[in-house]
């Protein structure tokens, strides 16, 4: 008989998944790099050196320099902070909106469910990236606008997940007991049902961070995301596009950073999902 607690069982299953562990290592490394950026960065990311314009990788500049002589490695290290900030703030906004609307739809049902889910369907009719482009084109390009817009346009999947969990949990014995004890709807929703519905949200949020980082990089690449001189992997790629024939390093290194980061979050999210899936328990 297996007497291990849920957290012990989760860790036991998670650590057997080597790809998930690799994703976790990538995510932890990204956190470490962004936190230690002032100490890891060999140069000031905004320092312009006209004598070192478009220098290739060397001992002085391992990732080369850009068209203003700025050290690419330093800009990528500081750019990791932008990626983490955009990913977590945008996903946090999307998660809060999705949890509230999904909980209301799943708990109350009937016309509340119908109205909220039709709104979800309406939002899903619009291609998310083009909707973000339209809003950013109207607003002033800034990191805060990007985070808010990505979050406000990315909550629909979370709402659907939470609604499905609430439809399953609201008829369970512990909810009926709380209602019989006189607990109001708000207490039942946020203190009794929601804590038991967070497992799929953890998976969705982990995968959502990867999507938010990718979206921010695409917006910055198009010139309507994070604006120079603030370093971002996307705007470093833009400089690489303009000098692709003579400065391959400006495209290769930030492209690899985006690839590895997004892959790491996806592997971590998939591993968490597999470890939490009761159908896979033995």
What are the structural domain ranges in the chain?
6-45+65-280
Contacts of 35-43 with C-beta under 8 Å, sequence gap 24+, read: 37/77, 37/78, 37/80, 37/81, 40/77, 41/73, 41/74, 41/77, 41/78, 42/71, 42/73, 42/74, 43/70, 43/71, 43/73, 43/74
How far is residue 64 from each of residues 53, 96, 107, measured CA to CA in Å?
Answer: 9, 41, 56
pLDDT at 239: 82
Decide if 89 contacts 142 (C-beta within 8 A).
no
pLDDT < 70: residue spans in the chain: 1-7, 277-282
Tell me which fold the domain 6-45+65-280 belongs to.
MetI-like fold (1.10.3720)
Closest CA to 183 of 107, 114, 115: 107
Phi-psi region of 227 (alpha: psi -120 to 50; beta: other; left: phi over 0): beta
Closest CA to 201 of 166, 176, 173: 166
Q: How does pLDDT run across 229-261, given as a tens digit for each residue?
A: 888 888 888 888 878 888 888 889 999 999 999
């Amino acid at each position: 008989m297996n007497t291990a607690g849920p957290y012990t069982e989760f860790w036991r299953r998670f650590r057997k998944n080597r790809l998930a562990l690799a994703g976790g290592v990538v995510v932890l490394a990204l956190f470490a790099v962004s936190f230690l950026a002032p100490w890891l960065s060999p140069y000031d990311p905004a320092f312009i050196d006209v004598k070192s314009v478009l220098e290739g990788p060397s001992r002085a500049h391992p990732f080369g320099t850009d068209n203003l002589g700025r050290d690419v490695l330093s800009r990528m290290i500081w750019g990791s902070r932008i990626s983490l900030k955009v990913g977590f703030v945008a996903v946090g906004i999307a998660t809060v909106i999705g949890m509230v609307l999904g909980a209301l739809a799943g708990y109350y049902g009937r016309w509340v469910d119908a109205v909220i889910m039709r709104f979800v369907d309406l939002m899903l009719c619009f291609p998310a990236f083009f909707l973000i482009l339209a809003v950013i084109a109207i607003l002033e390009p800034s990191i805060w606008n990007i985070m808010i817009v990505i979050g406000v346009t990315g909550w629909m999947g979370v709402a659907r997940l939470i609604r499905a969990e609430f439809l399953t949990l609201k008829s369970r014995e512990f909810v009926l007991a709380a209602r019989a004890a006189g607990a109001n709807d708000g207490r039942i929703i946020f203190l009794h049902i929601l804590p038991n519905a967070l497992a799929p949200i953890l998976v969705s949020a982990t995968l959502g961070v990867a999507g938010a980082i990718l979206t921010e990089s695409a917006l910055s690449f198009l010139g309507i995301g994070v604006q120079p001189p603030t370093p971002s992997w996307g705007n470093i790629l833009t400089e690489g596009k303009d000098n692709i024939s003579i400065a391959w390093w400006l495209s290769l290194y930030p492209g690899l950073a985006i690839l590895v980061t997004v892959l790491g979050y996806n592997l971590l999210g998939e591993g968490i999902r597999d470890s939490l899936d009761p159908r896979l328990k033995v």
